[in-house]
Amino acid sequence: MCKHQAGLTDYFTCNIGVRQGECLSPLLFSLFINDMDACARSDDYDGIDFGTLKLLLLLYADDTVVLADTPESLQIALDNINIYCQNKRITINYDKTKIVIFRNSFNTRVVGWMIGERAIECVNQFKYLGHVLHFNGKHNVSIGALANKGIAAYYAFRKHIIRFPNMPPGLALKFFNSMVVSVISYGCEIWGLREQKKLERIPLKFYKSLLGVKQTTPDCFVYGELGLYPLSVYHRLQVLKYWLKIIKAGPDRHVRKLYDVMLSDSARSNAIVNWATQVRDLLNNLGYGEFWVRQTVDNEHWFIRSIEQRLKDQYAQHWLTFVNVSNKAIYYRDFKVNISYEPYVSCPRFARCLIARLRCSSHDLLVETGRWLRPVLPYLNRFCTKCNLNQIEDEYHFVLICPVYAALRTRYIEPRYRVNPTRNKFILLVRNVSNHAVNLALYLRSAYNLRSRL
Ligand SMILES: [Zn+2]
């Protein structure tokens, strides 16, 4: 019986195939094609020889990859497989069958490969198991494809999240991780050794909208406020977890054999760069070179925890340098000394956004907007135009000094901060903001309103 727009069809008998979703289906298919590699092999075709490993075919569900190292042997393999398929009455999907010639340069000799009577198209890239394989073996194209997928996943995520404006940020971040970060981290065990700026931008977009700050806000501030780290930290950790898995794998596993091929390649010449040499460099860089030399890790749990901490510490070092030298961090470096989740972020959205904008210099006070004026207004001339104190209109002036907002200040800010104000008192007020977050946010909202009316 089938379901369609007009309802259900009558019962009918079906004598071939299995039911949709039936777990017998992949098992039957695997048994059915079990002898494919033996039939593909012949005197003139023996796959690619890696020394300890010979690869002819890669089979995953109904996806088949035929490997060859010369144009002639590829044609022989295709002929063998064509005969095999005819004998077994397997239909090849010619539209989805392509050839990629892995090479260094763009130009190549394209031979008109055929399967039976059909010519097979030669392409520069092909998507295999969700990953785009480019002819030069580099990951740039697949990262671009992942970034596009990630942006689509982010917009789908936003559609859902927008219906719950009061969702706690911790929960929203969890949803984001499972709906978006999982998409942009697909296969990061292989390509995750380098920072991928295209991918890093996607979570930052969300973090900035969660804090309600401008997209131009420095990334370091956002990581600092949310106690989060760049994706590259997580990706490198995944690479090293995968490395652990490989060195633990038995010597007969394909992945282990290929890893050994990479090791012996790199031993031949220092100029060779492959996945294994990059893992070696990462371990050396983190100060864990001894584990590379030994190629074993006794206490894996400790190893992973301490690598994670080291990766985070390395980023924290970079973060601290940025915060100490950035001219946007004149106050920020006094509010924050480390990357940790700020409790005010859990406040209602209006308070979270107003405070985050103040702390991260993502506001329209003259100290910031002056740098966007043409010609640029020199820092020392960015005076408050709302009062006649001739002081720079910065966060401190706006919150504790400017006489224009005195009445609002009396209403919302505790006397210990507003009476005899000093820069130090301002820093204390903003650093310990979670104790009085809503009141400070109410002050900011009213003061910004007043400012825009003056
Ligand atoms: Zn003023």
Task: Report whether pLDDT(242) > 90.
Answer: yes
Q: How far is the CA of 200 from the centre of ligand 1 (A)?
A: 39
Residue 332 Cα to ligand 1 middle (Å): 21
Residue 228 has pLDDT above 90, yes or no: yes
Cα–ligand 1 centroid distance for 419 (angstroms)? 17
The rounded Å distance from CA 454 to ligand 1 centre is 11
Burial class (CB in 10 A: 0-12, 13-18, 19+), 24: exposed
Residue 222: its pLDDT value, please?
A: 96
Report how far ligand 1's centroid is from the alpha carbon of 407 (Å): 14
- Three-class SS state of 316: helix
- Whether 109 has a pLDDT exceeding 80, the answer reads no
Distances (CA, A) of 334 to 429, 430, 454: 11, 9, 31
How much is the pLDDT for 277? 94
Q: Report CA(370)–ligand 1 centroid distance (Å).
A: 15
Contact 396, 417 (CB under 8 A): no
Please state, rounded to an integer, the average pLDDT across all residues of the chain. Answer: 90
Output the CA 412–ligand 1 centroid distance in Å. Answer: 18
Per-residue pLDDT at 197: 92
Of 307-311, 334-338, 388-392, where does the model show the most confidence?
307-311
The pLDDT of residue 263 is 92
Confidence of residue 269 (pLDDT cuts 50, 70, 90): confident
pLDDT tens-place string over residues 15-63: 887 887 888 888 888 888 888 888 888 888 888 888 888 888 888 877 8
Residue 151 pLDDT class (50, 70, 90 cuts):
very high
Q: How far is the CA of 388 from the centre of ligand 1 (A)?
A: 7
Amino acid in position 357: R
pLDDT band at 144 (very low <50, low <70, confident <90, very high): very high
Segment 126-138 shows an average pLDDT of: 88
